[in-house]
Amino acid sequence: MSINLELPKKLDTTIDQAHQAAAEIFRPISRKYDLREHDYPVELDTLASLYDGLAEAGQAGAGADGGRSQEKKGKPKPEGTVVNGGNMQSVINTMETSWGDVGLMLTIPYQGLGNAAIAAVADDEQLKRFGKVWAAMAITEPSFGSDSAAVSTTATLDGDEYVLNGEKIFVTAGSRATHIVVWASVDKSLGRAAIKSFVVPREHPGVEVARLEHKLGIRVSDTAVIRFENCRIPKENLLGSPEVDTKKGFGGVMQTFDNTRPMVAGMAVGVARASLEELRRVLEEAGVEIDYDKPAADQHAAAAEFIRMESDFEAAYLHTMRAAWMADNKQPNSLEASMSKAKAGRTGTDITNKTVELTGTLGYSERLLVEKWARDSKILDIFEGTQQIQQLIIARRVLNKSSADLK
Protein backbone atom coordinates (compact mmCIF):
# COMPACT_ATOMS: atom_id res chain seq x y z
CA MET A 1 0.00 0.00 0.00
CA SER A 2 1.44 3.37 -1.01
CA ILE A 3 1.53 6.32 1.38
CA ASN A 4 0.56 9.78 0.14
CA LEU A 5 2.79 12.36 1.87
CA GLU A 6 1.30 15.35 0.06
CA LEU A 7 -0.59 17.77 2.30
CA PRO A 8 -4.29 18.24 1.53
CA LYS A 9 -5.06 21.34 -0.50
CA LYS A 10 -7.47 22.62 2.15
CA LEU A 11 -4.43 23.40 4.32
CA ASP A 12 -2.84 25.65 1.68
CA THR A 13 -4.60 28.70 3.12
CA THR A 14 -3.29 27.96 6.61
CA ILE A 15 0.26 27.56 5.28
CA ASP A 16 0.12 30.75 3.20
CA GLN A 17 -1.32 32.86 6.03
CA ALA A 18 1.11 31.56 8.64
CA HIS A 19 4.13 31.94 6.37
CA GLN A 20 3.11 35.48 5.47
CA ALA A 21 2.87 36.38 9.16
CA ALA A 22 6.25 34.75 9.81
CA ALA A 23 7.99 36.50 6.93
CA GLU A 24 6.40 39.95 7.17
CA ILE A 25 5.77 40.35 10.91
CA PHE A 26 8.02 37.97 12.85
CA ARG A 27 11.32 38.04 10.95
CA PRO A 28 11.61 41.87 10.79
CA ILE A 29 11.19 42.25 14.58
CA SER A 30 12.95 39.04 15.64
CA ARG A 31 16.29 40.58 16.63
CA LYS A 32 14.62 43.65 18.13
CA TYR A 33 12.74 41.70 20.78
CA ASP A 34 15.53 39.21 21.35
CA LEU A 35 17.55 42.19 22.60
CA ARG A 36 14.61 43.63 24.57
CA GLU A 37 13.68 40.72 26.80
CA HIS A 38 10.29 41.01 28.55
CA ASP A 39 9.12 43.87 26.30
CA TYR A 40 5.72 42.95 24.92
CA PRO A 41 5.70 42.88 21.07
CA VAL A 42 2.74 45.12 20.32
CA GLU A 43 2.91 44.06 16.67
CA LEU A 44 1.27 40.80 17.71
CA ASP A 45 -2.02 42.42 18.73
CA THR A 46 -3.02 42.84 15.09
CA LEU A 47 -2.02 39.26 14.37
CA ALA A 48 -4.07 38.03 17.33
CA SER A 49 -7.14 39.79 15.95
CA LEU A 50 -6.54 38.13 12.59
CA TYR A 51 -6.25 34.68 14.17
CA ASP A 52 -9.43 35.29 16.15
CA GLY A 53 -11.32 36.05 12.95
CA LEU A 54 -9.86 33.01 11.21
CA ALA A 55 -10.77 30.81 14.15
CA GLU A 56 -14.38 31.95 13.89
CA ALA A 57 -14.31 30.89 10.25
CA GLY A 58 -12.65 27.56 11.09
CA GLN A 59 -9.42 28.49 9.31
CA ALA A 60 -6.89 28.91 12.14
CA GLY A 61 -6.21 25.44 13.44
CA ALA A 62 -7.62 23.62 16.41
CA GLY A 63 -7.88 26.54 18.78
CA ALA A 64 -9.32 25.96 22.23
CA ASP A 65 -11.71 23.21 21.19
CA GLY A 66 -9.17 20.93 19.53
CA GLY A 67 -10.97 21.20 16.22
CA ARG A 68 -14.20 19.75 17.60
CA SER A 69 -16.32 22.56 16.22
CA GLN A 70 -14.86 21.88 12.77
CA GLU A 71 -15.72 18.21 13.07
CA LYS A 72 -19.38 19.03 13.65
CA LYS A 73 -19.69 20.99 10.43
CA GLY A 74 -21.09 19.32 7.35
CA LYS A 75 -22.32 15.76 6.94
CA PRO A 76 -21.16 12.95 9.23
CA LYS A 77 -18.16 11.16 7.75
CA PRO A 78 -18.38 7.41 7.08
CA GLU A 79 -16.40 5.14 9.36
CA GLY A 80 -12.82 4.75 8.14
CA THR A 81 -12.73 8.20 6.49
CA VAL A 82 -9.34 9.87 6.77
CA VAL A 83 -9.51 13.26 8.50
CA ASN A 84 -7.00 16.09 8.26
CA GLY A 85 -8.39 18.47 10.83
CA GLY A 86 -7.64 20.84 13.67
CA ASN A 87 -4.56 19.16 15.11
CA MET A 88 -2.71 18.98 11.82
CA GLN A 89 -3.78 22.51 11.02
CA SER A 90 -2.39 23.74 14.35
CA VAL A 91 0.91 21.89 13.90
CA ILE A 92 1.39 23.26 10.39
CA ASN A 93 0.59 26.75 11.63
CA THR A 94 3.16 26.26 14.39
CA MET A 95 5.83 25.08 11.94
CA GLU A 96 5.38 28.08 9.67
CA THR A 97 5.27 30.73 12.39
CA SER A 98 8.25 29.15 14.20
CA TRP A 99 10.17 29.45 10.93
CA GLY A 100 9.75 33.19 11.52
CA ASP A 101 10.46 33.28 15.26
CA VAL A 102 9.54 30.59 17.79
CA GLY A 103 9.57 33.02 20.73
CA LEU A 104 7.09 35.30 18.99
CA MET A 105 4.99 32.27 18.09
CA LEU A 106 4.79 31.41 21.81
CA THR A 107 3.72 34.99 22.52
CA ILE A 108 0.75 35.16 20.15
CA PRO A 109 -2.32 35.88 22.29
CA TYR A 110 -4.85 33.03 22.56
CA GLN A 111 -2.40 30.48 21.13
CA GLY A 112 -0.79 29.32 24.41
CA LEU A 113 0.22 25.81 25.44
CA GLY A 114 -2.59 25.90 27.98
CA ASN A 115 -5.07 26.17 25.11
CA ALA A 116 -3.89 22.79 23.83
CA ALA A 117 -4.39 21.42 27.36
CA ILE A 118 -7.96 22.73 27.40
CA ALA A 119 -8.56 21.16 24.00
CA ALA A 120 -7.34 17.80 25.28
CA VAL A 121 -9.53 17.33 28.34
CA ALA A 122 -12.23 20.04 28.63
CA ASP A 123 -15.88 19.09 28.26
CA ASP A 124 -18.25 20.98 25.95
CA GLU A 125 -19.50 23.30 28.70
CA GLN A 126 -15.95 24.22 29.65
CA LEU A 127 -15.10 24.87 26.02
CA LYS A 128 -17.87 27.46 25.92
CA ARG A 129 -16.41 29.24 28.96
CA PHE A 130 -12.73 28.94 28.09
CA GLY A 131 -12.85 28.96 24.30
CA LYS A 132 -11.78 32.61 24.09
CA VAL A 133 -9.10 32.71 26.79
CA TRP A 134 -5.33 32.93 26.40
CA ALA A 135 -4.05 30.07 28.55
CA ALA A 136 -0.52 29.41 29.79
CA MET A 137 0.35 26.03 31.29
CA ALA A 138 1.87 25.59 34.76
CA ILE A 139 3.33 22.16 35.52
CA THR A 140 6.97 22.39 36.60
CA GLU A 141 7.81 23.13 40.25
CA PRO A 142 11.04 23.96 42.11
CA SER A 143 11.25 20.35 43.35
CA PHE A 144 10.91 18.61 39.97
CA GLY A 145 11.33 19.05 36.23
CA SER A 146 10.08 16.40 33.81
CA ASP A 147 8.64 14.02 36.43
CA SER A 148 5.08 15.32 36.21
CA ALA A 149 3.91 12.77 38.77
CA ALA A 150 5.85 14.65 41.47
CA VAL A 151 3.41 17.58 41.54
CA SER A 152 3.21 19.02 45.07
CA THR A 153 0.79 21.90 44.43
CA THR A 154 -2.50 21.05 46.13
CA ALA A 155 -6.14 21.70 45.29
CA THR A 156 -8.43 21.17 48.27
CA LEU A 157 -12.19 21.04 47.74
CA ASP A 158 -13.99 23.43 50.08
CA GLY A 159 -17.71 23.54 49.36
CA ASP A 160 -18.16 24.64 45.74
CA GLU A 161 -14.57 25.81 45.36
CA TYR A 162 -11.08 24.38 45.11
CA VAL A 163 -8.35 26.08 47.12
CA LEU A 164 -4.96 26.01 45.37
CA ASN A 165 -1.61 26.30 47.13
CA GLY A 166 1.84 25.90 45.61
CA GLU A 167 4.48 27.39 43.34
CA LYS A 168 5.05 26.87 39.62
CA ILE A 169 8.19 27.76 37.67
CA PHE A 170 9.03 28.17 33.97
CA VAL A 171 5.46 29.12 33.03
CA THR A 172 5.59 30.21 29.39
CA ALA A 173 3.60 33.45 28.83
CA GLY A 174 2.75 33.30 32.54
CA SER A 175 2.59 37.07 33.02
CA ARG A 176 0.74 37.79 29.77
CA ALA A 177 -1.86 35.04 29.41
CA THR A 178 -5.33 35.75 30.76
CA HIS A 179 -5.61 32.28 32.33
CA ILE A 180 -3.29 29.55 33.58
CA VAL A 181 -3.85 25.79 33.38
CA VAL A 182 -2.45 24.56 36.71
CA TRP A 183 -1.57 20.97 37.58
CA ALA A 184 -2.36 20.16 41.21
CA SER A 185 -3.14 17.17 43.43
CA VAL A 186 -6.63 16.84 44.91
CA ASP A 187 -5.41 14.16 47.36
CA LYS A 188 -1.67 13.56 47.80
CA SER A 189 -2.30 10.25 49.59
CA LEU A 190 -3.63 8.80 46.31
CA GLY A 191 -0.47 9.55 44.34
CA ARG A 192 -0.39 10.46 40.66
CA ALA A 193 -4.01 9.42 40.07
CA ALA A 194 -5.12 12.48 42.06
CA ILE A 195 -3.33 14.98 39.81
CA LYS A 196 -5.81 17.17 37.95
CA SER A 197 -5.61 20.33 35.86
CA PHE A 198 -7.44 23.53 36.72
CA VAL A 199 -8.13 26.72 34.77
CA VAL A 200 -7.22 29.75 36.91
CA PRO A 201 -7.57 33.42 35.87
CA ARG A 202 -4.17 35.11 36.14
CA GLU A 203 -5.60 38.26 37.68
CA HIS A 204 -7.29 36.51 40.57
CA PRO A 205 -6.98 36.68 44.38
CA GLY A 206 -4.23 34.35 45.54
CA VAL A 207 -2.31 34.38 42.23
CA GLU A 208 1.06 36.15 42.25
CA VAL A 209 3.53 36.45 39.39
CA ALA A 210 6.67 36.36 41.55
CA ARG A 211 9.31 37.04 38.88
CA LEU A 212 10.28 36.69 35.23
CA GLU A 213 13.29 34.62 34.18
CA HIS A 214 16.21 35.83 32.07
CA LYS A 215 16.90 33.12 29.52
CA LEU A 216 19.31 31.76 26.91
CA GLY A 217 16.69 31.76 24.14
CA ILE A 218 13.05 32.55 23.27
CA ARG A 219 13.66 35.80 25.15
CA VAL A 220 10.63 37.56 23.70
CA SER A 221 8.41 34.95 25.35
CA ASP A 222 8.21 35.72 29.06
CA THR A 223 8.78 32.82 31.46
CA ALA A 224 7.30 33.32 34.91
CA VAL A 225 7.38 32.00 38.45
CA ILE A 226 3.82 31.96 39.78
CA ARG A 227 2.69 31.38 43.36
CA PHE A 228 -0.77 30.25 44.42
CA GLU A 229 -1.70 31.06 48.01
CA ASN A 230 -5.21 30.11 49.12
CA CYS A 231 -6.40 30.74 45.57
CA ARG A 232 -10.09 29.87 45.43
CA ILE A 233 -11.67 28.89 42.11
CA PRO A 234 -15.06 27.34 41.23
CA LYS A 235 -15.00 23.55 41.20
CA GLU A 236 -16.26 23.71 37.60
CA ASN A 237 -12.78 24.98 36.64
CA LEU A 238 -11.36 21.48 37.07
CA LEU A 239 -10.78 20.13 33.56
CA GLY A 240 -12.30 16.74 32.85
CA SER A 241 -13.68 14.43 35.53
CA PRO A 242 -13.15 15.24 39.24
CA GLU A 243 -13.21 11.51 40.07
CA VAL A 244 -9.91 9.94 41.13
CA ASP A 245 -9.42 6.63 39.35
CA THR A 246 -6.42 4.90 40.91
CA LYS A 247 -6.51 2.15 38.27
CA LYS A 248 -6.31 4.61 35.41
CA GLY A 249 -3.63 6.70 37.09
CA PHE A 250 -3.32 10.23 35.73
CA GLY A 251 -3.69 9.26 32.10
CA GLY A 252 -6.44 11.84 31.60
CA VAL A 253 -4.15 14.68 32.59
CA MET A 254 -1.24 13.19 30.65
CA GLN A 255 -3.44 13.25 27.54
CA THR A 256 -2.55 16.93 27.48
CA PHE A 257 0.92 15.98 26.31
CA ASP A 258 -0.47 13.99 23.38
CA ASN A 259 -1.71 17.35 22.06
CA THR A 260 1.18 19.61 23.08
CA ARG A 261 4.20 17.42 22.24
CA PRO A 262 3.52 17.40 18.46
CA MET A 263 3.11 21.18 18.75
CA VAL A 264 6.54 21.53 20.35
CA ALA A 265 7.94 19.16 17.72
CA GLY A 266 6.43 21.47 15.10
CA MET A 267 8.27 24.41 16.69
CA ALA A 268 11.57 22.53 16.43
CA VAL A 269 10.84 21.60 12.81
CA GLY A 270 10.14 25.24 11.96
CA VAL A 271 13.36 26.54 13.53
CA ALA A 272 15.40 23.73 11.93
CA ARG A 273 13.97 24.55 8.51
CA ALA A 274 14.84 28.23 8.90
CA SER A 275 18.39 27.29 9.82
CA LEU A 276 18.78 24.84 6.91
CA GLU A 277 17.53 27.40 4.40
CA GLU A 278 19.99 30.01 5.66
CA LEU A 279 22.83 27.50 5.62
CA ARG A 280 22.05 26.52 2.03
CA ARG A 281 22.12 30.20 1.03
CA VAL A 282 25.49 30.81 2.72
CA LEU A 283 27.03 27.65 1.23
CA GLU A 284 25.83 28.51 -2.26
CA GLU A 285 27.25 32.04 -1.95
CA ALA A 286 30.56 30.43 -0.95
CA GLY A 287 30.49 28.25 -4.06
CA VAL A 288 29.69 24.98 -2.26
CA GLU A 289 27.47 22.80 -4.47
CA ILE A 290 24.97 20.42 -2.87
CA ASP A 291 24.57 17.51 -5.28
CA TYR A 292 22.00 14.86 -4.37
CA ASP A 293 23.22 12.56 -7.14
CA LYS A 294 26.75 12.21 -5.73
CA PRO A 295 27.82 10.04 -2.78
CA ALA A 296 28.59 12.07 0.34
CA ALA A 297 32.27 11.02 0.17
CA ASP A 298 32.62 12.70 -3.24
CA GLN A 299 31.29 16.08 -2.09
CA HIS A 300 32.50 19.05 -0.11
CA ALA A 301 32.36 18.15 3.60
CA ALA A 302 29.88 20.97 4.28
CA ALA A 303 27.59 19.72 1.50
CA ALA A 304 27.70 16.17 2.87
CA GLU A 305 26.84 17.47 6.32
CA PHE A 306 23.97 19.52 4.90
CA ILE A 307 22.47 16.43 3.25
CA ARG A 308 22.76 14.46 6.49
CA MET A 309 20.95 17.19 8.44
CA GLU A 310 18.29 17.56 5.76
CA SER A 311 17.47 13.84 5.97
CA ASP A 312 17.15 14.13 9.76
CA PHE A 313 14.89 17.14 9.26
CA GLU A 314 12.61 15.17 6.91
CA ALA A 315 12.33 12.37 9.47
CA ALA A 316 11.43 14.84 12.23
CA TYR A 317 8.83 16.48 9.99
CA LEU A 318 7.18 13.18 9.09
CA HIS A 319 7.14 12.00 12.72
CA THR A 320 5.37 15.23 13.68
CA MET A 321 2.80 15.05 10.91
CA ARG A 322 2.03 11.44 11.77
CA ALA A 323 1.36 12.28 15.44
CA ALA A 324 -0.97 15.14 14.44
CA TRP A 325 -2.77 13.01 11.85
CA MET A 326 -3.39 10.27 14.43
CA ALA A 327 -4.88 12.79 16.85
CA ASP A 328 -7.24 14.03 14.14
CA ASN A 329 -8.30 10.47 13.37
CA LYS A 330 -8.92 9.54 17.03
CA GLN A 331 -6.04 7.08 17.12
CA PRO A 332 -4.05 6.79 20.38
CA ASN A 333 -0.86 8.73 19.67
CA SER A 334 1.03 8.80 22.96
CA LEU A 335 3.92 6.83 21.47
CA GLU A 336 4.03 8.88 18.28
CA ALA A 337 3.69 12.18 20.18
CA SER A 338 6.77 11.32 22.23
CA MET A 339 8.63 10.06 19.17
CA SER A 340 7.95 13.30 17.31
CA LYS A 341 9.03 15.42 20.27
CA ALA A 342 12.21 13.38 20.84
CA LYS A 343 13.25 13.32 17.18
CA ALA A 344 12.39 16.94 16.38
CA GLY A 345 13.89 18.31 19.60
CA ARG A 346 17.21 16.54 19.09
CA THR A 347 17.28 17.32 15.36
CA GLY A 348 16.53 20.99 15.95
CA THR A 349 19.46 21.48 18.32
CA ASP A 350 21.77 19.51 16.05
CA ILE A 351 20.89 21.47 12.91
CA THR A 352 20.95 24.92 14.49
CA ASN A 353 24.25 24.37 16.29
CA LYS A 354 25.88 22.80 13.24
CA THR A 355 24.69 25.75 11.14
CA VAL A 356 26.50 28.14 13.47
CA GLU A 357 29.60 25.98 13.11
CA LEU A 358 29.48 25.74 9.32
CA THR A 359 28.83 29.47 8.83
CA GLY A 360 31.82 30.30 11.04
CA THR A 361 32.34 33.82 12.31
CA LEU A 362 29.34 35.01 10.31
CA GLY A 363 27.11 32.50 12.09
CA TYR A 364 28.48 33.33 15.52
CA SER A 365 27.88 37.04 15.03
CA GLU A 366 24.54 38.85 15.20
CA ARG A 367 24.68 39.69 11.50
CA LEU A 368 22.56 36.60 10.87
CA LEU A 369 19.80 35.04 12.98
CA VAL A 370 21.44 31.61 13.07
CA GLU A 371 23.03 32.12 16.49
CA LYS A 372 19.63 33.15 17.83
CA TRP A 373 18.00 30.05 16.36
CA ALA A 374 20.65 27.91 18.07
CA ARG A 375 19.80 29.54 21.40
CA ASP A 376 16.06 29.27 20.81
CA SER A 377 16.14 25.62 19.78
CA LYS A 378 17.59 24.26 23.03
CA ILE A 379 14.38 24.77 25.00
CA LEU A 380 12.45 22.77 22.40
CA ASP A 381 14.41 19.68 23.44
CA ILE A 382 13.62 20.35 27.10
CA PHE A 383 10.12 21.62 27.79
CA GLU A 384 7.05 19.39 27.50
CA GLY A 385 9.37 16.56 28.59
CA THR A 386 13.13 16.26 28.14
CA GLN A 387 14.84 13.98 25.62
CA GLN A 388 15.42 11.41 28.37
CA ILE A 389 11.76 11.44 29.45
CA GLN A 390 10.59 10.97 25.86
CA GLN A 391 12.90 7.99 25.39
CA LEU A 392 11.58 6.48 28.62
CA ILE A 393 7.97 6.89 27.47
CA ILE A 394 8.79 5.42 24.05
CA ALA A 395 10.48 2.42 25.68
CA ARG A 396 7.45 1.82 27.91
CA ARG A 397 5.07 1.94 24.95
CA VAL A 398 7.20 -0.29 22.71
CA LEU A 399 7.87 -2.85 25.47
CA ASN A 400 4.34 -2.60 26.91
CA LYS A 401 5.69 -1.73 30.36
CA SER A 402 4.08 0.43 33.04
CA SER A 403 5.84 3.31 34.77
CA ALA A 404 6.26 1.01 37.78
CA ASP A 405 7.94 -1.65 35.64
CA LEU A 406 10.30 0.67 33.76
CA LYS A 407 11.66 3.72 35.57
**Catalytic center residues:** 384
Which one, of 314, 333, 373, 324, lies nearest residue 349 by Cα?
Answer: 373
The two beta strands, 223-234 and 161-172, are antiparallel
Q: How far apart are CA 324 and CA 260, in angstroms?
A: 10
Q: How far apart are CA 355 and CA 136, in angstroms?
A: 32
Q: How far apart are CA 355 and CA 359, in angstroms?
A: 6
φ, ψ of residue 5 to 5 degrees: the values are: -95, 5
Q: How far apart are CA 328 and CA 79, in angstroms?
A: 14
Element holding 341 (H helix, E strand)? helix 334-358
The DSSP code sequence of 360-393 is: HHHHHSSSSSHHHHHHHHHHHTTTTS-HHHHHHH
Could you tell me the CA-to-CA distances from 29 to 21, 172, 369, 372 in Å, in that order?
Answer: 12, 20, 11, 13
DSSP code of 197? Answer: E
